[in-house]
Amino acid sequence: MSIMRRVIERVAQVLPDRQQDEIHSARRYLGQPVDRLDGVDKVTGGARFSAEYPVEGLVYGAIAFSTIAKGVISHIDTTAAARAPGIIKVFTHLNTPAMKAPAPFSIGGEPSAGGSAVRILNTDRISWNGQPIALVIADTEERAEHAASLVAVTYTVEEAATSFERAIAHAVTPKDVLGESPELVKGDPDAALRSASHRVDLTFKTPPYNHNAIEPHAAIAVWEGNDRLTIFDTSQFTAGGANSLADIFGLKKENVKLLAPFVGGGFGGKGTMWFYNHLCAMAAREVGRPVRIALSRKGVFRIVGGRTPSQQRVAIAADSTGTFTAFIHEGFTAQSTDNHFPEQFSFPPRHLYAMQSYRIGQQVTNVNRVANTFMRAPGESIGTFAVESAIDALSYELKIDPIELRMRNEPETDPVSGHPFSSRYLREAYAMGAERFGWRKRPAAVRAQRDRGWLIGQGVATGTYPVYRMATAARLRLNDDGTVVIQTSCQEMGMGTATVQTQHAADRLGLPLDRVRFEYGDSSLPWAGVAGGSSQTISVALAVQDAAAKLVKELLSLARKNGGSPLAQADADDVQPANSGLFLKAMPAIGEAYVDILRRAGKTFVETEVTTGMPLESMKYSMHSYAAQFCEAAVHEETGEVRIRRWVGAFDTGSILNPKTATSQFRGGIIMGIGMALTEETMFDDRTGRIMNPSLAEYHIPVQADVPEIDIVYTDVADPKTPLGAHGIGEIGITGVAAAVANAVYHATGTRVTDLPITLDKLL
Ligand code: MOS
């Protein structure tokens, strides 16, 4: 643990908690299934995505990708490309102006978490198969694409590390795993494992996965002169993207504006810079025209990172009552040499079970592949596959019901840090889910249920995801027409950000929903962090909460300056927002409407702005979301085909702010998990390091026919340590899903599949 971290932890211990603050006015909108505010725009085509902005004089870029995994460009010939019709310019490493390395999270020049520091088109070195080697600008996209295919290149090929399996021999321990220790040990788990009466020791493999958002990555760059850049870029992090671009081009931060009002799905793949955006800006400046680069699906596979492959060992020892006497979870992931992101698969067991002894850690390998990145609950989704499959296996070994086994090992406090849980109702989630699913009717034995040629099985698994919060700024403006505008640079990628924050602000200020406007998706608005780590809802909520509290104070001081106001004698503690104004808590009929306070004061608006502090609460409490995933699977006896027949997801994620958007988030996560379990896999050709299936025809994500009805239930118990009592819920849905599928398949067939995806060949 770093010294800095230790100091912050010390400080956190002595500071009072920021308790969840109750909204004084009644919750009128929060907790209600309010329709998405952007729903109509999206279904009518009114919502504009990055590639769709009409910009005058637009020209188009297309990228040529390397076909080797490692080496040096020895010769590149652009003559034919430059002569093709409509070509404006061809950029290669020979004529591209120098740019600083992309710094996804402003870690200039350093290998960066979840992004890549390769200096694209500023180097003749090739680090992965698919690296951009040329960028062609033309008057149409088709002409640019054609000319890109005419770029002729020869390489001096070097031996590349293309195989993860082979790279494991050279694995190293990373200096940290997302700031946490790469290995934790308590007691002697190896000895405990050897002497145990019951044990499992299994090795699991998960393949690489690629991002397939419905909106492929795209940007349009427009310059004013040489020092002001506006870029429409599909981004999960408008402020971070703008900062990175300012850094790359040496611009003042305030001179870069990144706009992403709508994002067609991110899932981690749009959290950092992925070359197309800064190449787009570079080209636009060089050719003196606005440029668009819209990646094809194949282009996304070539230059946008996805999930690392993993190999994980889980060994658990238990006594005859099922108590875990040893817990070992260790293994490997892959990253590229220009990246530092050992995906945190070893995080789940750090917080899930009481363990008498443990070794929990991970190592990392370097491969010549595009940098791996954040993807759909990085760490927890692949980590829970291994851990929750192993626990299922142990339950058969012990002849204890798999839910009962988990409940017998529920910890009182965080098993590694010892911190109290801020909120943990996993027991309740299991009870709710089991009831809904009809778990009691499940026979204990495997291969015990058949239905016309199909073997039927039921499996469960625990899901978990941390509660993250980030420092966030928000501006709140109350106008003299009684409307409120909230501004923060955060992102809407389909999860309902604007809807929930509008519900929140309306309740907090006692306003009707239609009096509140939420503005976001623009880097020039007050700073919000990445829409990642399922952190955005509570991060923005706290900023809105603080900005609203400040607004109330300012309004009151205006009222106090005016003897005629019924609030002239009131203190901040005496009043509460309600009915579009401030009213006395003790005498709710006495108060004044916002518009009247402003009118008396002769003001057209009042504005407040705040920045929230660091999440010190997470240094003091173990803060997580939980899920109990219930799956019924059918496996065809002759073909080995797996169909998911039923699903119940029972979630413990604090207060549910909008049951409609929340349920949709949970379902979406479960569907992604079904893809992870059954169909998705990025296939690399080990000879060349090339991705062999870079299209939706060959990389299979679940379609409607693969997804059963998904039943969602939740505990809806407020977490006293989080804003609004809520947790982020973007990622918890996928966690535990692959294990629940594997466990149901085992129950159906008696075959334990330990390497994803669970394809029929593994069941024959
Ligand atoms: Mo998420 S993988 O933190 O966008």
Contact 720, 423 (CB under 8 A): yes
Q: What is the DSSP letter of 245?
A: H
Name the band, by pLDDT with cuts 50, 70 and 90, for residue 10.
confident
Probe target for ligand 1 pocket from 272, 374, 380, 536, with the most ligand atoms within 8 Å of CB: 374
pLDDT in tens, 275-291: 999 999 999 999 999 99
Give yes or no for residue 449 having a pLDDT over 60.
yes
The arithmetic mean of pLDDT across residues 289-302, rounded, is: 98
Name the band, by pLDDT with cuts 50, 70 and 90, for residue 106.
very low
Question: What's the mean pLDDT when you consider all of the chain?
Answer: 94
What are residue 423's phi and psi, to 5 degrees? Answer: -175, 125
Probe target for ligand 1 pocket from 209, 238, 267, with the most ligand atoms within 8 Å of CB: 267
C-alpha of residue 532 to centroid of ligand 1, in Å:
4
Contact 395, 402 (CB under 8 A): yes
Give yes or no for residue 14 having a pLDDT over 80.
no
C-alpha of residue 271 to centroid of ligand 1, in Å:
7
C-alpha of residue 377 to centroid of ligand 1, in Å:
6
pLDDT the model gives residue 18 = 66
Name the band, by pLDDT with cuts 50, 70 and 90, for residue 19.
low
Q: What are the Cα distances from residue 333, in Å, to 75, 207, 364, 445, 753?
A: 34, 10, 5, 35, 20
Residue type, 109: G
Q: Return the CA Rg of the chain.
A: 27
The 3-state DSSP composition of the chain as helix, strand, coil percent (nearest 5) reads 30, 25, 45
Contact 245, 229 (CB under 8 A): yes
**Pocket flag, ligand 1, residue 668 (CB < 6 Å):** no
Give yes or no for residue 484 having a pLDDT over 90.
yes
pLDDT the model gives residue 338 = 82
Q: Considering the entire predicted model, what is its pTM?
A: 0.96
**Pocket flag, ligand 1, residue 757 (CB < 6 Å):** no
C-alpha of residue 730 to centroid of ligand 1, in Å:
8
What are residue 447's phi and psi, to 5 degrees? Answer: 55, 35
**Pocket flag, ligand 1, residue 694 (CB < 6 Å):** no
Three-class SS state of 439: helix
CA distance 142 to 204: 44
pLDDT in tens, 647-671: 999 999 999 999 999 999 999 999 9
**Pocket flag, ligand 1, residue 267 (CB < 6 Å):** yes
CA distance 465 to 729: 9
Q: What is the DSSP letter of 675?
A: H
Name the band, by pLDDT with cuts 50, 70 and 90, for residue 26.
low
Q: Give 109's Cβ-side CA count (13 Å radius).
A: 1
**Pocket flag, ligand 1, residue 266 (CB < 6 Å):** yes
Ligand 1 atom closest to Cα of 270? 4
pLDDT the model gives residue 378 = 96
Ligand 1 atom closest to Cα of 267? 4
C-alpha of residue 531 to centroid of ligand 1, in Å:
7
**Pocket flag, ligand 1, residue 374 (CB < 6 Å):** yes
**Pocket flag, ligand 1, residue 268 (CB < 6 Å):** yes
Contact 687, 751 (CB under 8 A): no
The arithmetic mean of pLDDT across residues 48-65, rounded, is: 97
C-alpha of residue 375 to centroid of ligand 1, in Å:
5
Contact 206, 372 (CB under 8 A): no
**Pocket flag, ligand 1, residue 61 (CB < 6 Å):** no
pLDDT the model gives residue 25 = 56
Name the band, by pLDDT with cuts 50, 70 and 90, for residue 109.
very low
C-alpha of residue 380 to centroid of ligand 1, in Å:
11
Name the band, by pLDDT with cuts 50, 70 and 90, for residue 422.
very high
Give yes or no for residue 458 having a pLDDT over 60.
yes
Give yes or no for residue 107 having a pLDDT over 50.
no
Give the active site residues: 731
pLDDT the model gives residue 324 = 98
The arithmetic mean of pLDDT across residues 534-543, rounded, is: 96
pLDDT the model gives residue 22 = 67
CA distance 97 to 95: 6
Name the band, by pLDDT with cuts 50, 70 and 90, for residue 583.
very high
Cα angle 192, 197, 201; round to 5: 65
Ligand 1 atom closest to Cα of 236? 4
Ligand 1 atom closest to Cα of 271? 4
Ligand 1 atom closest to Cα of 731? 1
Residue closest via CA to ligand 1's atom 4 equals: 268
Residues of the chain with pLDDT > 90: what percent? Answer: 91
**Pocket flag, ligand 1, residue 740 (CB < 6 Å):** no
Probe target for ligand 1 pocket from 731, 732, 734, 735, with the most ligand atoms within 8 Å of CB: 731
**Pocket flag, ligand 1, residue 714 (CB < 6 Å):** no
Q: Are strands 363-366 and 591-593 parallel, antiparallel or unpaired?
A: unpaired
Give yes or no for residue 305 having a pLDDT over 70.
yes
pLDDT the model gives residue 3 = 63
Ligand 1 atom closest to Cα of 266? 4
pLDDT the model gives residue 760 = 97
pLDDT the model gives residue 1 = 47
> Which residue shows structure tokens 């590390």?
161
Ligand 1 atom closest to Cα of 533? 3
| Contact residues for 705 (Cβ-Cβ < 8 A; gap 6+) | none
Q: DSSP characters for 128-181?
A: STT-EEEEEEESSHHHHHHHHTT-EEEEEE------HHHHGGG-B--S-BTTB-
CA distance 442 to 310: 32
Q: Give 511's Cβ-side CA count (13 Å radius).
A: 22
The arithmetic mean of pLDDT across residues 165-171, rounded, is: 96
**Pocket flag, ligand 1, residue 271 (CB < 6 Å):** yes
Find how far residue 638's CA is from the centre of its chain.
39
C-alpha of residue 264 to centroid of ligand 1, in Å:
14
Among 2-6, 617-621, 695-699, where is mean pLDDT lowest? 2-6
Give yes or no for residue 165 having a pLDDT over 70.
yes
CA distance 142 to 136: 11
C-alpha of residue 534 to centroid of ligand 1, in Å:
7
Tell me which residue of 735, 715, 711, 740 sits closest to 436, measured CA to CA.
711
